[in-house]
Amino acid sequence: MVRSLKPVRLLEIAAELGREVEGDPGLLICGVAALEQAGPSDIAFVRSAEHSHRVADTRAGALILLPDVDPGSCSAIRSPNPALDFARVVERLAPCLRPPAGLHSSAELAEDAEVDASAVLSACVVIGAGSRVGPRSVLHPNVTVYPNVEIGSDCVIHSGVVLREDTVLGDRVVLQPGVIIGGDGFGYLADEQGLPRRMPHIGRVVIEDDVEIGANTTVDRATFDETRIRRAAKIDNLVQIAHNCDIGEGAIVVAQSGLSGSTWVGSGAIIMAQAGSAGHLRVGERAFVGARAGLHKDVAPGSRVWGAPQLEARRWHKAMAALARLPDALRRLRAVERELGLRRARGAASTETAARTNDGARADRT
């Protein structure tokens, strides 16, 4: 349950969403909450008709729900996408607190660094030579910015983030704690003694507008050109994006996934948790890669793949269904083998008996 910084009437919320109110338009909304925790001055939401049975037990004052869901005794705002409109209400009622503009006394700036007067540089932030920080961007404590980095406007860079040299961030980029952008890629060559020698990585990382990257994710610099994360892509925690990857507009990469060098991900594609790719592969636009998939070849646009190695979704589901039947099939096979073994044993015994009989008959004739 989150309390609003400033209570607002339900009619105002509906107007901002472009929706109508059913019930009491003057209801004062003081907070947002889940259905189970909401009180009479809170607003909650019902995600789908499947959850409509939970309305009877809620104490919420108002609900955001689909047109065909009964709100019970609650006031209601009808929406074709209740979850999305509820997210907008949360942003309206409980906005993130922004520190006051300015530089903390412990922040360190190179002489030629440029920081907009409206930006926030918190304690122990370091800005390298030739770097620039745009309007209203917030750098939380212990952010390290190497030389020649560009940070656009309205970015939020959380504690412990490292931006290596030549990195470019667009506008409204959000980097969660511990993100490392622009570290050297994992590239080695064997020397004359067969030992690994590091390949220099002299490229950069470009992150376009409205990208969000989760905690402790790493995005490596390109070998010679650039690694690019395109507009509005969303990358979860603990993801590895290797050198020269290109992540498409609006693509989603979920936690603990790893993309090898030069992997290309199309716009709108979704890569689920713990998936991995071999290098130089293409994941097509709006493709879906299931959790823990292992990609060894390209994924066609709009297709759905699962498993390691990857299989088209229907084939994978059939394989998994067959796998579940294997223990029973194995039991039946062993039973058949035992029966066949007994039959062979009986046949061999009969053959041996017949042979002895024939030998005895021949002896008698002699």
Show which residues are catalytic: 243
- Which residues, in sequence order, are bridge partners of residue 43? 32, 62
- Closest by CA to 225, choosing from 261, 190, 259, is 261
- Closest by CA to 17, choosing from 110, 69, 80, is 80
- Closest by CA to 166, choosing from 142, 133, 130, is 130
CB proximity list for 292: less than 8 A, separation 6 or greater: 272, 273, 274, 275, 308
CA distances from 299 to 242, 260, 290 (A): 18, 15, 12
- Angle between helix 10-17 and helix 82-93 axes, rounded to 10 deg: 120
Taking the C-alpha atoms of residue 11 and residue 17, their distance in angstroms, rounded to an integer, is 10
The total of other beta-carbon atoms located within 10 Å of residue 217's CB is 23
Taking the C-alpha atoms of residue 173 and residue 187, their distance in angstroms, rounded to an integer, is 28
- Closest by CA to 281, choosing from 292, 269, 291, is 269
Tell how far CA 156 is from the center of its chain. 19
Taking the C-alpha atoms of residue 319 and residue 91, their distance in angstroms, rounded to an integer, is 44
Tell how far CA 297 is from the center of its chain. 21
CB of 14 within 8 A of CB of 21?
A: yes
CB of 302 within 8 A of CB of 286?
A: yes
